[in-house]
Amino acid sequence: MFAKMDRIILHVDLDAFYASVEELRRPDIRGKPAVVCVYSGRTQDSGAVATSNYLARELGIRAGMPIAFAKRAAKGKDVVFLPVDMEHYREVSERIMDLLEEHADRFQQVSIDEAYLDVSDRCTGNYQCAEKMARDIKEEIKEHEGITCSVGIGPSKYVSKMAGKKRKPDGLTVVRPEEVVDFLRNLPVGKLHGIGAKTEEELNSLGIKTAADIPAYGLPGLEKEFGKNKASLLRDKALGIDDSPVEQKDKQQLSRIATLKEDTTDADIIYKKISDLCSDLNKKLQNKIAFRTISLITIDTHLQTQTRSETIPEADDACSVLPSYRTLIDRFLSENPGKMLRRVGIRVSGLSFKDAKGKKEQKRLFDY
DNA sequence: CGACGTGTAAC
DNA sequence: CCTTTTACACGTCG
């Protein structure tokens, strides 16, 4: 009989990634707080913070914050503000991900700066081995690319992710299977990966403050509040239960969104922007990805998002479906008379991948 | 059930 | 005075 061995999974998170990469090529900003920004281009300083380095975080400057707020926090201090350069970060990321993949039996990149490595086979259940691997990986990335990362090790993706959050930057945290419940127990629910502001608020209002409070509340009670599905999800997060495999997933959708120079209700202005976004998306599609559903995304002056979508005969060229987008725009406008839009976007979904001969292929969507 | 729209979450 | 991209769950409608 072969008992199913416990898995060992590493979560690798590149520290303050965009900022770290900038510090590498801009030695002059080292030792200073640095803020990497997405400028929206409508006014000076309109836009949001993509990443800040740890010195900037000490000033309270965090990802997602409006640039104008960050500037206020930086007032009088020597803080460097830089625009994002995604192309460059993607190059660096790609090289690092290639390094990481070498160390894994199974590999899953989850974003530009994060990946899971299943090392169960090569470490045969030995956490010492996994820890050594993590140190080797950290050293290798430091040596080859000059940046630090934080690694979490645990028996599942979720636990490794939570472990990694414990010590940053340049951290290494191991949570063994028998330690999982204790490790999570006293964490505030909002700290659990997958529990955001809304759910945190809802849990708190029930008197549920820490992870341990969740199972203590009882599954039936949770189900009344959250429904069967989410209730069991919450309980699993509290107890560190996660069987999801480390595997590269196919993309389900691709989208592009942009901020308008000025708020508008004008179909022609919107159409023009949509047409730009289609051209941009085509660079990604490369005539290799076909789609069956298109969506128009709108964000109004109050930052409320709405979508209008339509399933169409399969297409592989975003620009070729511009007439359908025009229809969606007109539909949206007639259903929302006078609504001022701030941002507009497009999305294609129902994707399938085509090979060189234009034939449909099964997997491989994640390559693009 | 498939299509569509919204909400939540994470980066 | 607030970016961008993706995923997924869920409610609703026909």
pLDDT over 90 (residue A368): no
The size of chain A, in residues, is 368
**Any strand B atom closer than 7 Å to A300 CB:** no
Residue A356 has pLDDT above 80, yes or no: no
Residue A144 pLDDT greater than 90, yes or no: yes
**Residues contacting A92, CB < 8 A, separation 6+:** A21, A145, A147
Distance A200 CA to B8 C1' (A): 11
Percent of chain A with pLDDT over 90: 71
Tokens 């709405």: give the residue.
A306
Write down the pLDDT at residue A361.
56
Q: Is the pLDDT of residue A36 over 60?
A: yes
Q: Which residues of A are catalytic?
A: 114
Point out the nucleotide closest to A304 (alpha carbon to C1′).
B6
For the CA of A197 and the C1' of B8, the distance in angstroms is 9
In this prediction, residues A249-267 reach a mean pLDDT of 90
Residue A94, by phi and psi: left (phi above 0), alpha (psi -120 to 50) or beta? Answer: alpha
Residues A160/A10, Cβ–Cβ less than 8 Å: yes
Residues with CB under 7 A from strand C: A 38, 40, 42-43, 45-48, 50, 63-64, 66-68, 227-230, 249-259, 303, 342-343, 345, 347
The CA–C1' separation of A230 and C9, in angstroms, is: 9
Q: Chain-centre distance of CA A132, in angstroms?
A: 28
Nucleic acid strand B: bases within 7 A of protein CB: 2-11
Distance, in Å, from the CA atom of A105 to the CA atom of A94, rounded to the nearest integer, reads: 18
Q: Which nucleotide is nearest to A111 (CA to C1')?
A: B11
3-state secondary structure of A47: strand
Q: What value, to the nearest 5°, has the Cα angle with vertex A153 and ends A147 and A156?
A: 125
Closest-approach nucleotide to residue A48, Cα vs C1' = C3
Predicted local confidence at residue A284, as pLDDT: 87
| pTM beyond 0.85 | yes
Question: What pLDDT digit, counting tens, does each position of A208-245 carry?
Answer: 999 999 999 998 888 888 888 888 889 999 999 998 99
CB burial class (10 A; 0-12, 13-18, 19+) of residue A180? Answer: buried
Q: Which residue is nearest nucleotide B11, judged by alpha carbon to C1' distance?
A: A111
Whole-number pLDDT of residue A100: 95
Above 80 in pLDDT, residue A139?
yes
Determine the pLDDT at residue A270.
94
The spacing between the Cα labelled CA in A1 and the C1' in C4, in angstroms, equals 50
User: CA A271 → CA A190, A274, A278, A307, A339, distances in Å?
Assistant: 40, 5, 10, 15, 16
